[in-house]
Chains A and B, each alone.
Chain A
Amino acid sequence: MGEHELSPVRGPESSPRSSVSRRRFLGRSALLAGAVAFGDGILDVARRTAAADGPGTPQPPPLEEKRTVRISNWPLYIDAKTVQEFEVATGFKAVYTEDVNDNNEFFAKIDEPLKRGQSIDRDLIVLTDWMAGRLIKLGYTQPIDAAKFPNKANLVEALRGVGFDPGRVHSVPWVSGMTGLGYNPKRLGRELTSVNDIFAPELKGKVTMLTEMRDTIGLVLLGEGADPAKCTLAEAKAAAAKIKKYREAGHFRGFTGNDYAADLAAGNIAVAFAWSGDVQGLTKDNPDLRWVAPKEGAMLYSDNMLIPKTSDRGDLAAAFMNYVYEPAHAAQIIAAAPYLSPVKGVDAELAKLDAGLAKSPLVNPPAEVRARLHVFRWLEDAEDKELNKAFQDAIGA
């Protein structure tokens, strides 16, 4: 946790292959392999250092230390320039670390220190809705200073009133993503429309689901005709039981983080539960790949920026939020990490950067797709524990 100085600031363009990466331990290892295979350097600390003293920046007096905001985010969730440009624009220093690979794993790291009120050496962290909700409920976060964050007005209406943080006092979304089916229609020889296609007998051994419980259980529930936003615990556990039955019969190739992406591109997997942004990234090298929101519906999640309660630099974190909520800056991020932006006015800015991407249904889903997006319902701690246990058992973890 303390080694953030060694961590990379890097954008997806540094390796075309790795622009698909997002989640989990295995994801990081695939990334490592990708980087080694392509021979490009992962670490690019020098670039950041150079930018901090870049031309045009007034040099501060040598004895006065620059104030630094320390950020933890998921891998490949940002472009290469935003952090430097933030430093130039604000005069603050930013250390941006891509060390969030899994909500549960990250929580395991920060839980103890935050419980004891100790610093986690981070001023801004990005976690998925349900985990953001848990942190807020545990009192691990501090409110965002609205005076330092005028661009909060740019937050889209749909994401303003979330159950876990009414009024968005403690959190604002970084980006949102959709979970649906990823596949290659050419290789498969047909189009997929239903979640339940993943259970087709001829696909035995050629499919994967995600280790992210709410995404996988949510999609299976949709296939069963249930609504993940309102499901009972019994329904969710029945979905887990269905997964377990198929897993035991050898139907699944595996349960993955973002590492399904490489296997999907290589043809080892025919159909995967997949994140929209990942597949959008993959299509650069594999134009045949496709992501679809199944007719029964797809899952929608957001990853949210939070300020840990033990941070003494909440003002800097708010300044960073304010910076990335400027539509032009948000568009620059989306151009590299093609997810759904929570910032109003980003479409026009994105069209200037990448007209094709701005029209992509993955970045800008049509209304009929938006109508089919579901958010997994809030689970109380006891429910979460019980369902997680059933789910881990189902996926054979």
Chain B
Amino acid sequence: MAGIAAGGSRRSALAPYLLLAPGILYLLAFYLVPALSLARTALSPETGPWYGGLQHALSDYGMHLVRSFQYALTATVLAALLGYPLAYAMAFRAGRLKNLLLGLVMLPFFTTFLVRTLAWKTLLADEGLIVRALGALHLLPVEGRLLNTVWGVLGGLTYNFLPFMILPIYVSLEKIDRRHLEAAQDLYGAPASVFRKVVLPLSLPGLLAGSLLTFIPAAGDFVNAELLGTPNQKMLGSVIYGQFLTVRDYPLAASLSLLLMFFILLLVLAYTRALGTEDLA
């Protein structure tokens, strides 16, 4: 009996590892190995110190890096401002429309990212409806157009990553126990203070997750800047694309990729440290 029991517990002790194994092996083969090879390409220049490539990349493309983070941050804030009220309405006010609205939020995913961005080119065209309407209202930016401006790029980034902001916020709002709200109201909380003291704090994990899901891909994105911007709006992703595939300066491209990863990691760590991740799950 004792032997069987011991065998059983040994099996259950192994179980988590067995369950983890496929994922770990997959990440090992397709993430860690390429990442290490990338690091080796970046950090072993033919001449000079190991950090020479990074230094060179940072001095030549530091501006693109800063721009990538500026755009990603702006898009994240815009997505949060647009997404939160929508998620709130879906979670608390939509009633029977809830599923329909959820479906509508996900609908764009049925079209590929690239085609959606190309559609923006048509929407923002110089002789298109939007530009003409804004022109009539004298609301156009100084360039006199939207396509191939910073506004086009920010709009595209916000639009493309908005669902990644809405869905986590919606889930965390949906999860809130309604009795908390009733309790707050019973304690004479005005709607605004119920929101501020109960709903918002309880939905922070969703906002945090949504921000990460928006910010990280937006910082590395190159499609929006490439299609909706000019070379002066180029983000680091475009540079990496060009260096890998056109210029074929692999060490530089690898250095840039490494820098992007490093700074994203740094910002994400600072962000999660400030807001706390224990509630993320």
Contact = CB atoms under 8 A, between A and B. Distances in A.
Given A250-B232, A252-B231, A268-B147, A397 B242 contact: yes
Interface in A103-125: 104-105, 108
A123 to B, nearest CB: 24
Given A247-B232, A254-B230, A108 B248 contact: yes
Nearest to B64: A396
Nearest to A255: B231
Interface stretch (B48-56, B119-127, B184-192): B119-127
B115 interface: yes
Contacts of A99: none
B171 interface: no
A397 B246 contact: yes
Interface in B235-251: 238-239, 242, 244-249
Given A205-B145, A247-B231, A267-B125, A397 B247 contact: yes
Nearest to A107: B248
Contacts of B239: 397
Interface in B95-146: 111, 114-115, 118-119, 121-122, 125-127, 143-145
For this complex, into which size category does the number of interface residues on chain A fall? 20 to 34
B232 A104 contact: no
A129 B238 CA distance: 27
Contacts of B248: 104, 108
A66 to B, nearest CB: 35
A36 interface: yes
A46 interface: no
A392 B230 contact: no
Contacts of A80: none
Contacts of B127: 266-268
B73 interface: no
Contacts of A268: 121, 125-127, 145, 147-148
Given A104-B248, A105-B246, A266-B127, A397 B148 contact: no
Contacts of A397: 231, 234, 238-239, 242, 246-247
- Interface of chain A: mostly helix, strand, loop or mixed: helix
Contacts of A230: none
A252 B232 CA distance: 9
From B126, B239, B246, name the one whose CB has the most chain A CB atoms within 10 angstroms. Answer: B246
A104 B248 CA distance: 8
Contacts of B232: 247-248, 250, 396
Interface residues of B, number: 30
A392 B249 CA distance: 11
B231 A102 contact: no
Given A395-B231, A396-B232, A32 B115 contact: yes
Contacts of B119: 33
Given A253-B230, A397-B231, A392 B247 contact: yes
Contact of A253 (B115, B122, B148): B148
Nearest to A267: B127
A105 B230 contact: no
B226 interface: yes
A388 interface: yes
A21 B125 CA distance: 20
A155 B144 CA distance: 50
Interface in A262-280: 262-263, 266-268
A30 interface: yes
B227 interface: yes
B143 to A, nearest CB: 6
A29 interface: yes
Contacts of A247: 230-232
A29 B114 contact: yes
Interface of A: 26, 29-30, 32-33, 36, 102, 104-105, 108, 205, 211, 247-248, 250, 252-255, 262-263, 266-268, 388-389, 392, 395-397
25 contacts: A26-B226, A29-B114, A32-B118, A33-B114, A36-B111, A36-B115, A102-B245, A104-B245, A105-B246, A108-B245, A205-B230, A211-B246, A253-B148, A263-B121, A266-B125, A266-B126, A267-B125, A388-B247, A389-B247, A389-B249, A396-B231, A396-B234, A397-B231, A397-B238, A397-B239
Given A262-B121, A266-B122, A396-B232, 20 more contacts: A29-B114, A29-B115, A33-B115, A108-B244, A205-B143, A205-B145, A253-B148, A266-B125, A268-B121, A268-B125, A268-B126, A268-B147, A392-B242, A395-B231, A397-B234, A397-B238, A397-B239, A397-B242, A397-B246, A397-B247
6 closest Cβ contacts across the A-B interface?
A396-B231, A397-B242, A33-B118, A104-B246, A267-B127, A268-B126
